Amino acid sequence: MGQPESQTATFGDEQSPRRLVGTTTVYEGRVWDVVSEQFTLTRDGETITRDFIRHPGAVAVLVLDDDGRILLLRQYRHPVRMALWEIPAGLLDEDGEDFVDAAARELAEEADLTARQWHVLVDLFLSPGSSSEALRVYLARGIGDVPEADRHTRTHEEAEIELMWVDLDAAVDAVLAGRIHNPSATAAILAARVARENDFVDLRPAMTPWPEHPSQHPTWPRGAVLEG
């Protein structure tokens, strides 16, 4: 086997739809479904079946204040039986809502905060081998408070949310020491630390298109045959 070629030009992930033979919804959940799809890797290749979670996607927010601190919140996550330090985040479950507007809504609901300055920090597929969940993380600065009368009433697990301001470098140390496990928080903290080296000037504008998100390909989740 030859050695990998050196890559100096710009590179990145790319869409690569394959011929979809069939789709079956195995389970319809309250938030997401489990689907089973049959597809071929090549036009005349073997048919393969994969089961995965069809997810509406999500947004998350790394809040950075004027003192270089980020906002973390602690929330119980039942599947892993742990209280995790995370960043404000939520589902893209409002029809017609822009991604950044959803992030601002989640920031207000989970942290009682507003922000004047927004940038895209990082885009992720959280578990691409088993879920279609796409996550966009924003960097939010210019922080303000939501008026008391307009604050969201948090229920269930969100009612137990604890908030903490942490120096960004201390958060990086916590990630590298294995004390923070949430993937959106981990990716956001490390990305922010790198972006800070150039005073965040290389970050994308908040309204940057997100063509990788499944909602931008409405025929795909519903099982249309995609040729490729």
Q: 44 is in which domain, residue-wise?
A: 19-54
Give me the pLDDT at residue 154, please: 74
Contact indicator for 73, 107 with CB cutoff of 8 Å: no
Nearest to 123, CA basis, from 228, 204, 21: 204
Q: Is 220 exposed, middle or buried (0-12, 13-18, 19+ CB in 10 A)?
A: middle
- Residue 214: its pLDDT value, please? 76
Beta carbons within 10 angstroms of residue 26's beta carbon: 10
pLDDT, residue 19, reads 84
Distance CA 100, CA 120 (A): 9
Residue 113 lies in a domain: yes
Whether the Cβ atoms of residue 134 and residue 57 lie closer than 8 Å to each other: yes
Q: Is residue 51 helix, strand or coil?
A: strand
Residues 32 and 66 grouped into a single domain: no
User: Are 173 and 65 in the same domain?
Assistant: yes
Indicate whether 187 belongs to any domain. Answer: yes
Q: How many CB atoms lie within 10 A of CB 19?
A: 17
The C-alpha atoms of residue 169 and residue 173 are separated, in whole angstroms, by 6
SS3 for 128? coil
**CA–CA distance, 85 with 65 (Å, rounded to integer):** 18
Examine the domain organization and report whether 40 and 100 are in the same domain. no
Tokens of 228: 């490729």
* Residue 90: both structure tokens together: 């939520």
Number of compact structural domains in the chain: 2
Check if the beta carbon of residue 104 is closer than 8 Å to that of residue 117: no
Domain check: are 23 and 119 in the same one?
no
Q: What is the pLDDT along the chain (228 residues), one digit of tens a residue?
A: 556 666 666 888 888 878 888 999 999 988 889 999 999 987 678 899 999 999 889 999 999 999 999 999 999 999 999 999 999 999 888 888 899 999 999 999 999 999 999 999 999 999 999 999 999 999 999 999 998 887 877 777 677 889 999 999 999 999 999 999 999 999 999 999 999 999 999 999 999 998 888 777 654 544 333 333
Looking at the fold, whether 181 and 68 belong to one and the same domain comes out as: yes
Active-site position among 97, 158, 160, 162: 158
Residues 67 and 46 in one domain: no
pLDDT digits (tens, 9 = 90+) for 193-208: 999 999 999 999 999 9
Helix (H) and strand (E) counts for the chain? 3, 11
pLDDT of residue 126: 92
Is 46 catalytic? The answer is: no
Q: What is the reported pLDDT for 59?
A: 96
Please indicate, yes or no, if residue 136 is contained in any of the structural domains: yes
